A = this chain, B = another copy of it.
Amino acid sequence: MSPRTIGVTEVALRDAHQSLMATRMAMEDMVGICEDIDKAGYWSVECWGGATFDACIRFLNEDPWERLRTFRELMPNSRLQMLLRGQNLLGYRHYEDMVVDKFVEKSKENGMDVFRVFDALNDPRNLEHAMAAVKNCGGHAQGTICYTTSPLHDVDGYIAQAGRLLDMGADSIALKDMAALLKPQPAYEIIRGIKDTYGDDTQINVHCHSTTGVTLVTLMKAIEAGADVVDTAISSMSLGPGHNPTESLVEMLEGTGYTTELDMDRLITIRDHFKKVRPKYAEFESETLVDTNIFLSQIPGGMLSNMESQLKAQGAGDRIDEVMREVPVVRKDAGYPPLVTPSSQIVGTQAVFNVLMGRYKVLTAEFADLMLGYYGECIGERNPDLIEQAKTQTKKQPITCRPADLLEPEWDKLRDEAEALDGFDGTDEDVLTNALFPGVAPGFFTTRAKGPISVGKNAEQLAAEKQAADSGAQAVREPITYKVSLGGRSHQVRVEPA
């Protein structure tokens, strides 16, 4: 019998550079390889999301909608895929339903095909409207399960969650393992369980990061369990806090009952392209290669570095271990939310506050809202004492309804706000850009005309480095300390006479 074909989603253009180089990759480093990506045979190409949208206007003076249109034009044969934070869209608050409709409609109109819709708390009420909006405009609605572990999370719960997503009309189910916590056996059981419960024709996409070193095995087991599509990154944009290498997946399947339809020659071209690009962004790279602490601490790498910088800012960089022990406490009090944007930041920041000021001496505004239900429901009970404290501190009442139900129609107001900005181009896209990032968009609108910039090293700088590398060294007469980027990392290096 002929092997079953496994679809592959290439994440190099979105999650890979988000995970490896702080989402800084400039469009100029992507356009040249789009044709090969388009023709390599991927099931989809992930290329858009909250962080890429944010980075475009915050760091790259680039219109994210224009980026999307460019991808659409350069990859006419590919499904373009994005990551959508349910009712939060690409932002950090809930948006009123009409804004959700507008955003999804405009995203589809500008070229998006597959919408991977998730909610940080796995609260279905925060996904349902976005899912419906995707269906209404003819997009592929991919309902997402954020995978995490806790005393309350189990295989049956994830299977039931998949059912709720299918009830929303999900065209496929994504099992999203943002922290590399998903081990081979639970992956097998969850995916097999979903297929057995809802039918083998239920499409399942699996997204794993590679941080813990185990998840290529997880993908193998997921495939054996019936997974239809898996996410990988071309090897030159893989591993560490990122994803498993695309070529390794292809090779891994040789001789098994599974295959991909990827063109290895194209993959090699894509690999070599990003091999040249990656050094340009070396200064943004993390040094994590493999870290199984995550299984103990539950803390994703990005969240950890975030807390570390918060502590350093307070001159308490040495207290990270205390914070790591505090995170599980805070997470339990919050009802065991998965730790992913924005819940990871909310829980992490509260843990930092607890360590620096005493446990729950101060609640952050976001943590208080989380305790009062303004982000939605978690799997677990929230600590009632902290709910009371949150009420007192914020003068707000706890809610049990879908958070977005409390919102008034806001589209006209958002348009008025945008109209008032210099450089606003009159489009709904601009209205949405400002609605999503009100603190950043106004500045971007005024500088947009200057066009995109790159924060990577330019060819001249790299050439200078290479030339220097090929030529001889200058004598160093006394110790010099300087910054140098090499081998994909930025280092402070001290040179002294031998």
Residues of A within 8 A of B (CB): 183-186, 189, 212-214, 216-217, 220-221, 235, 238-239, 244-245, 247-248, 250-252, 254-256, 287, 289-292, 295, 464-465, 467-474, 476, 479-484, 486-489, 491-496
| CB proximity of A60 to chain B, nearest CB, Å | 18
- Taking a contact as CB atoms under 8 Å apart, the answer to whether A252 and B493 are in contact is no
| CB proximity of A403 to chain B, nearest CB, Å | 35
- Taking a contact as CB atoms under 8 Å apart, the answer to whether B184 and A220 are in contact is yes
Q: How far apart sit A290 and B267, CA to CA, in the bound complex (Å)? A: 14
By Cβ-Cβ distance, the 6 closest A-B pairs, closest first, are: A487-B487, A468-B494, A213-B248, A185-B255, A473-B483, A469-B492
- Taking a contact as CB atoms under 8 Å apart, the answer to whether A256 and B185 are in contact is yes
- Taking a contact as CB atoms under 8 Å apart, the answer to whether B495 and A484 are in contact is yes
Task: Write the chain B residue with the least CB distance to A181.
Answer: B251
A468 in complex: contacting residue of B220, B245, B465, B493, CB < 8 Å: B493
Q: How far apart sit A482 and B216, CA to CA, in the bound complex (Å)? A: 39
- Taking a contact as CB atoms under 8 Å apart, the answer to whether B254 and A185 are in contact is yes
- Taking a contact as CB atoms under 8 Å apart, the answer to whether A214 and B252 are in contact is yes
- Which residues of chain B have C-beta atoms less than 8 A from A480's C-beta? 474, 476, 480, 482
A238 in complex: contacting residue of B290, B471, B495, CB < 8 Å: B290
Q: How far apart sit A322 and B465, CA to CA, in the bound complex (Å)? A: 27
- Taking a contact as CB atoms under 8 Å apart, the answer to whether A251 and B212 are in contact is yes
24 A-B contact pairs sorted by A residue (CB < 8 Å): A183-B251, A185-B254, A189-B255, A212-B251, A213-B216, A213-B235, A214-B248, A214-B251, A217-B220, A238-B290, A247-B292, A248-B292, A250-B292, A251-B292, A287-B488, A468-B492, A469-B492, A470-B492, A472-B481, A473-B482, A483-B495, A484-B493, A486-B486, A487-B488
